[in-house]
């Protein structure tokens, strides 16, 4: 009942839950059920009798409020939800994760033991300096760590544990949910918002302690397909149409000043993400991101202009582009009740941090939940460098997030009873 968040996280991190692009199943990988079912068991062990998992893998439960009837007359205190996802990114292996606990980070670069070529550099990680002398967790360098978002899972479970074991901490009804497939953009595809029953919610899926998120990118996916013609290279003259050459010319023309590597803050980007193919056919997936949703059309037109130029160079290749909507900036759908953000800010301050609003240069499950009518801003976890082997986690940051979640539950009571 009193297991620290760190021990929970280490246990969860060792379970391979990597999701997969272009899968025809939901979740995209069956192995995500290994952690989902473990979380279900742990929720039931905490005494949450309505804990359940549905056919899509969504794990949900409710911690009933402990308010005197007079304090919550006519349901004045909203039902608040907390959400985290179990899957890890397809970008790096999530199998055989070996978490490395550095009990007192001494400062400087960290060479990871499983692959000495993988180094977490202090110059690239300002948060490392704030953790000198404090515990952090890394992978061994051969896999990602999985703090995105298993730290969020551990934070929510630990906060529930604290609230259950401390009946003097007053709170309304609290709903929790653990989702699959967030990393492949499908975390809320079948999520039943009405059945979840929360009035407001928070994803616990951020990074730097104190940073709060009420804005995300708006996102589209562009898929360019180049059709060529293959023939044996020995007799290819004037016959072969190599789709790879045309695709290379497309990539080479993408603006280098509108890329993740060269932008920050509110700047948009075009990001070639996954490329596959051979001479006869190749495909390229491109992430289009802009905080201004109308700006996505500007990015699309840039690609259309590039394609038109490459068609002239490769007239025998057939080039197609499809644009798929992914998610939208949560700020545009956050709603008019200021408490959802005010409570978040106050909870962070009470945890001893100086909160700051930071736009997410990405998205969360909260992006789609907010768009669908459930305002769901995002809380920090303490993790850094997501989606790769240099990922690391501040243990203090994770514990402060636990404290923030517990504070949130109480502040909603205060705000609603005032």
H or E segment and range at residue 211? strand 211-212
Contact 258, 270 (CB under 8 A): yes
Placement of tokens 């279900």 in the chain = 40
Active site residue 87: yes
Residue 98 in tokens: 């070996």
Q: How far apart are CA 1 and CA 47, in angstroms?
A: 11
Q: How far apart are CA 155 and CA 158, in angstroms?
A: 5
Placement of tokens 């995209």 in the chain = 28
Q: Single out the residue of 68, 86, 57 nearest to residue 189, CA to CA.
A: 57
β-partners of residue 136 are 102, 394
Contact 312, 251 (CB under 8 A): no
Q: How far apart are CA 140 and CA 268, in angstroms?
A: 33
Catalytic residue among 87, 148, 346, 365: 87
Catalytic residue among 16, 42, 149, 182: 182
Helices 5-13 & 395-417, crossing angle to 10 degrees? 120
Active site residue 365: no
Q: Which residues are tagged catalytic?
A: 87, 182
């Amino acid at each position: 009942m009193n297991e620290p968040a760190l021990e929970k996280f280490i246990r969860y991190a060792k379970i391979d839950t990597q999701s997969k692009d272009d899968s025809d199943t939901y979740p995209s990988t069956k192995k995500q059920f290994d952690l989902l079912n473990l979380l279900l068991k742990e929720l039931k062990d905490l005494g949450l009798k309505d804990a359940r998992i549905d056919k899509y893998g969504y794990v949900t439960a409710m911690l009933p409020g402990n308010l005197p009837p007079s304090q919550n007359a006519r349901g004045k205190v909203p039902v608040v939800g907390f959400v985290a996802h179990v899957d890890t990114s397809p970008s790096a292996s999530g199998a055989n994760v070996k978490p490395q606990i550095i009990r007192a980070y001494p400062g400087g670069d960290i060479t990871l033991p499983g692959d000495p070529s993988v180094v977490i550099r202090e110059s690239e990680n300002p948060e490392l300096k704030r953790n000198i002398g404090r515990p952090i967790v890394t992978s061994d360098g051969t896999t990602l760590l999985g703090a995105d978002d298993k730290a969020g899972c551990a934070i929510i479970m630990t906060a529930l544990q604290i609230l259950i074991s401390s009946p003097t901490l007053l709170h309304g009804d609290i709903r929790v949910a653990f989702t699959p497939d967030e990393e492949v953009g499908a975390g809320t595809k079948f999520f039943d918002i009405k059945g979840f029953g929360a009035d407001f919610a928070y994803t616990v899926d951020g990074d730097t302690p104190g940073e709060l998120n009420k804005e995300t990118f708006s996102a589209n996916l562009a898929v360019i397909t180049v059709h060529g013609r293959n023939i044996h290279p020995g007799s290819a003259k004037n016959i072969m149409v190599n789709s790879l050459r045309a695709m290379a010319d497309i990539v080479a023309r993408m603006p280098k000043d509108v890329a993740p590597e060269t932008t920050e803050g509110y700047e948009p980007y075009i990001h070639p993400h996954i490329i596959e193919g051979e001479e006869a056919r190749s495909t390229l997936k491109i992430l289009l991101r802009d905080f201004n949703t109308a700006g996505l059309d500007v990015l699309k037109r840039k690609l259309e202009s590039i394609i038109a130029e490459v068609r002239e160079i490769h007239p025998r290749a057939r080039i197609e582009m499809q644009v798929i909507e992914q998610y939208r900036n949560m700020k545009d759908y956050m709603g008019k009740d200021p408490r959802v953000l005010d409570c978040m800010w106050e909870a962070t301050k009470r945890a001893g941090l100086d909160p700051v609003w930071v736009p997410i240069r990405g998205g969360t499950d909260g992006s789609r939940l907010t768009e669908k009518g459930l305002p769901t801003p995002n809380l920090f976890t303490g993790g850094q460098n997501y989606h790769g082997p240099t990922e690391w986690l501040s243990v203090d940051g994770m514990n402060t997030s636990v404290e923030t979640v517990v504070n949130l539950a109480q502040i909603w009571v205060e705000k609603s009873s005032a």
